[in-house]
Structure 1
Amino acid sequence: MGVEVWVLLVTVAVLALLYSKWRHSYWASRGVPTLPVTPFLGHILKSVFAAREPWKLQEEIRNKFDDARMCGFYEFFKPTLLVWDTEILKHIFVKDFDHFADRRHFDMKTVHERDLVMMEMLSVVNGAQWKSLRAIMSPAFTSGKIKSMFHLVCDKADILVKISVKQAAQNPHVNMKKIFGRFTMDTIASCAFGIESNSLMDENAEFPRKAQAFFEMSTLRLAKFIAFGVVPRLFKALRVSINPPETDFFVDVVKHTVAAREAGKTRGDFLDLLLEARDSSDNPSSKHVLRQRSLIAQSVLFIIAGYETTASLLDFSSFLLAKHKNQQQRLRDEVQQLVEEHGRLNYQGIMEAKLLEACLQETLRLYPPAVFIERYCTKAYKLPGTDLTIRPGDIVQAPIWALHHDPRHWPDPEAFIPDRFLPENKSNINSFAHMPFGMGPRNCLAMRFALMEAKVALAKLLLGAELELAPGHEEMALDSQGGLLRSKGLNIKIKPIVAE
């Protein structure tokens, strides 16, 4: 190559580096600290390498920039702000929610039907569409509706205990995460769609296999997500879907169930409630908001969102109670007393169980389902107590793991202390330092159902068995798949309790 070509290449390279440096000065020019940046890539490589253990990155950032209470990030050139100041988070999630009503904007509308369905989910839609959809779906998760499903959850929990004890008789220890996943799948299938997925009874059941595959974040799938963030148009041109093929299974299941319901079969479950809302003459806009694809999307969301998170909550809870036998016995005593008072384990007793609630909330503190939560800025906003203005399009992240393990909010933060959440101690809790289900208008809509489901399963399991740690499984090994926290597989020893 001639001198002129070399000069041209060097000039282009220098200009490109200068452009990258300028784009990556967004936070520094506003006085926000950042970790060292890789030209053009920003912090994307650091995020990818930390994808399996994102809590470690959060702790590293908090320890390094703790006084600033925030840190800037770049996804390639896109600015993201990590904030762990609870007073600022209170404004973002609640007080000034109108500036942060959206979640990250995606454009996954490729040629695939599965992508079109995923884009209609409540957790993804934004603006007026989200507001209307949330209003339509909220009545499906009132206390009365949840109570009506209590007996269905109890039926599945009884099978859960039976299967756990049976496996314990045949094996020295039991993989509880697998059993809990099958329990949550059976429960959701029954309560939401009147479907008997037989996950607990059938080792080869299709429902849990498809759900588990859906959440597996392989290296190839992670690379696909990164590529989609850079060149989304290429995916449309090549007709490549961003979502896993297992999505199709759940879409087809819901389609067939919807068709059966529209033919006249009703059951009073979640799907029926959505259909009633869609066809309600009192709210004509419901028919427009809950189009067929949207209705299918919300049903698939209920399956996907409820399967992994609740199963992990039960998995972590069983480990913590097996590790802390004194807390396990305290909780068993509480549940046994409720049975004595009410004659059986009923909805009222479960909801009044203070220690049961506290144990689950402390588990959620130690092992939150999502390690971070995002909000998308829709209107320019000056963060209270600072000179920093967030611009439309910027993303703000709350590092849930770091907040839940911050010693300023939680004395002895790594210890399992359920009493923190007993009624007499709740006034000591900074609510924005404990957000396992999010906070504000965009919190988890099915939170109360998930907690009721977990309470029933845990209470019945403790009534029927004692939990002990299996040899070699004395410590928790964590993993993260698609931003959701899970264990790498816990084995628990189960000893049946013989009634006197």
Structure 2
Amino acid sequence: MEKKLIRENAFPSLGLGVGFELWMTFLAPRMIGVTWLLLGAVLVLFWAYSWWKHRYWANQGVPTPPVVPFIGHAHKLFAPDRMCDFGREAYYNYGGSKLCGLYSFHEPTLLVGDPELMRHIYVKDFDHFIDRRTFDMPSEKDIVTANMLTLKTGEEWKKLRAIMSPTFTSGKIKGMFPLVCEKADQLVSFCLKEARTKPFVDMKYNFGRFTLDTIASCAFGIECNSLVDEKPEFAKQVDSFFKISTGMILKFILLSLFPKLVEVLNLRLSVPATDFFEEVVRETMRARQSGNKRGDFLDLLLEAEVSTGDAEGTKSKEALDEVTIISQSVLFLVAGYDTTASTLAFASFLLAKHPEIQQRLRQEMSEMVEEHGDITYQGIMEAKYLDACIMETLRLYPPGLFLERKCVKEYKIPGMDVTIKPGMIVTSPVYDIHRDPKYWPEPEVFRPERFLPENKANITHLTHIPFGVGPRNCIAMRFALMEAKVGLAKMLLASDIKLAPGHEEIKAEFSMGLLRPKDGVNLLLDPLKEE
């Protein structure tokens, strides 16, 4: 009786134990196995999908560098320190000197390096590639950046470009010439003062202050005096535009993969310094609206009218809205500052490294002053060797390393069975084309003679494109060239530029889409005459 009682009371616990033991012995391993099997199946499906997406170019017979599943080439396209090397590899090893397929994650893009194909895409058939790469910027904090000319598309871009173009006519630029000369004189005075008290002069820093002061004065009538100000707020804020943070890279990757998530999170994509310049332009606009007109870039935008139409076809004209004016003003300030400053810094380094070229250029400047009595607009525009030195600098160190256009309607590449779909990005590797020995004998050598009038016929069309090409080229190209020529001419007439000991080489970095000196450009300046 006692044994029976014990067996009856123990049965339930024995039953649970046996059930658990059965689960652990037979069912759990099978469930775990099924789970791993499902995960494996999902991964295989994702891999197959990725493989299929990355077959786009192979199916069209376009060569492609090796891809990473799911990522494509994005790990190199989004990394500034890898982008240049990867572009060179694609150009020389995977057909990029003609055309080469790339993948930003699963999105196909096309690298085109053949000048004839570029002529079709950027010029002849421009109506198929009217837009640049665009970014959806849903945050209100990005409204100024989102409305810049460079991000405008279609008819909006055409209208805005037409409004801004008159700012950069020969007549307007000639009217700005005295202001540029005044800022260049201040640059020379400051540099020579530094040369007397410092072991070397950082010309990248000083040229940056010069271009910033020049643009602020010529375009907005603002005297920011960043050369002489011990704590130049303007310069500090504009420099922050070109510092790429890890957070910024991650945001743009997130934008590429999950644009809706960026919208939901209301992530800001523009740099905070935009707010500083937005307020500066607003204050200047208020002063102009009170009657202080100067006839400069800002006045032109304030007076501009854009054609509009309603559903019934009635056309009228309206003034540009405030956000559009502010956006173009901030763009002009920021874009014009760094590109010209970097070009001048690279040019001064190359001239210091080649004293015989520097002396020949100085001789041309001296003869110009002797003929015209001073540095004049006409003299600067006619100085052939000065122009050649600037152009050769831009060949070796183009501000923008890549050209980009976005396809807006399906396009079949002439003479090839390759189709570019709407929304696809087409890129051209400016830096690699500029240094391709196929077009440029001894491409690494600084040789301004290439660009003298008697030699220009030897240059293959569209192999020198530092300002872009076609209708979407740099709108301020002529102003930038005039500004650079004046700054360089004034410096050479005032001083002999030499390499500083320990700074005989220069490093370049790719930041925010621009090529610039990495650690400054440190040079020695020997005055040629008393100030």
Normalised by the shorter chain, which TM-score bucket?
over 0.9
Whole-angstrom distance in 2 between the partners of 1:421 and 1:41: 42
Residue 129 of structure 2 corresponds to: 100
1:246 maps to which of 273, 279, 282: 273
C-alpha distance after superposition, 1:261-298 (max 9, x if no partner): 112111111101111223899xx76636x221111111
Q: Does the 8 A contact of 1:228 with 1:242 survive in 2?
A: no
Query: Is residue 458 of structure 2 the alignment partner of residue 428 of structure 1?
Result: yes
Residue 360 of structure 1 corresponds to: 390
Pairwise mapping of residues 193-232 of structure 1 onto structure 2 (< 5 A)?
193-232=220-259
Q: Does the 8 A contact of 1:53 with 1:479 survive in 2?
A: no
Question: 1:150 and 1:337, CA in 2 relative to 1: closer, same or farther beyond 3 A?
Answer: same
Whole-angstrom distance in 2 between the partners of 1:316 and 1:374: 24
Pairwise mapping of residues 271-350 of structure 1 onto structure 2 (< 5 A)?
271-278=298-305, 287=318, 290-350=320-380
Q: Which residue identity does 1:84 align to in structure 2?
A: G
Pairwise mapping of residues 53-452 of structure 1 onto structure 2 (< 5 A)?
54-66=83-95, 69-112=98-141, 115-278=142-305, 287=318, 290-452=320-482
Residue 496 of structure 1 corresponds to: 527
Whole-angstrom distance in 1 between the partners of 2:96 and 2:67: 21
C-alpha distance after superposition, 1:60-92 (max 9, x if no partner): 112212487211111111111001011000111
Whole-angstrom distance in 2 between the partners of 1:447 and 1:152: 18
- Corresponding residue SS for 1:432: coil
Q: Does the 8 A contact of 2:96 with 2:111 survive in 1?
A: no
Question: 1:67 and 1:108, CA in 2 relative to 1: closer, same or farther beyond 3 A?
Answer: closer
Whole-angstrom distance in 2 between the partners of 1:68 and 1:492: 36
- Corresponding residue SS for 1:104: coil
C-alpha distance after superposition, 1:416-447 (max 9, x if no partner): 00010011111111231111000110000000
Q: Does the 8 A contact of 1:53 with 1:480 survive in 2?
A: no
- Corresponding residue SS for 1:80: strand
Question: 1:235 and 1:93, CA in 2 relative to 1: closer, same or farther beyond 3 A?
Answer: same
**Runs of 4+ residues deviating >4 angstroms:** none
Q: Does the 8 A contact of 1:277 with 1:286 survive in 2?
A: no
Whole-angstrom distance in 2 between the partners of 1:458 and 1:232: 45
Q: Does the 8 A contact of 1:54 with 1:371 survive in 2?
A: no
Whole-angstrom distance in 2 between the partners of 1:414 and 1:216: 28
Whole-angstrom distance in 1 between the partners of 2:275 and 2:483: 26
Residue 8 of structure 2 corresponds to: none
- Corresponding residue SS for 2:510: strand
Stretches of structure 2 lacking an aligned partner (at least 5 in a row): 1-30, 309-314
Stretches of structure 1 lacking an aligned partner (at least 5 in a row): none
Whole-angstrom distance in 2 between the partners of 1:416 and 1:109: 45
2:50 maps to which of 20, 27, 33: 20
Whole-angstrom distance in 1 between the partners of 2:448 and 2:182: 28
Query: Is residue 59 of structure 2 the alignment partner of residue 32 of structure 1?
Result: no
Q: Which residue identity does 1:159 align to in structure 2?
A: Q
Whole-angstrom distance in 2 between the partners of 1:54 and 1:365: 19
Q: Which residue identity does 1:299 align to in structure 2?
A: S
Query: Is residue 490 of structure 2 the alignment partner of residue 460 of structure 1?
Result: yes
- Corresponding residue SS for 1:440: coil
Instruction: Single out whichever of 5-14 and 324-333 deviates more from structure 2.
Output: 5-14
Question: 1:177 and 1:361, CA in 2 relative to 1: closer, same or farther beyond 3 A?
Answer: same
Instruction: Single out whichever of 230-239 and 436-445 deviates more from structure 2.
Output: 230-239
- Corresponding residue SS for 1:424: coil
Whole-angstrom distance in 1 between the partners of 2:398 and 2:280: 30
C-alpha distance after superposition, 1:340-377 (max 9, x if no partner): 00011110000000011000000000000000010101
Greater Rg by CA: 2
Q: Which residue identity does 1:497 align to in structure 2?
A: L
Kindly, what percent of the aligned residue pairs are identical? 56
- Corresponding residue SS for 2:422: coil
> What is the TM-score with the length of structure 2 in the denominator?
0.91
- Corresponding residue SS for 1:181: helix
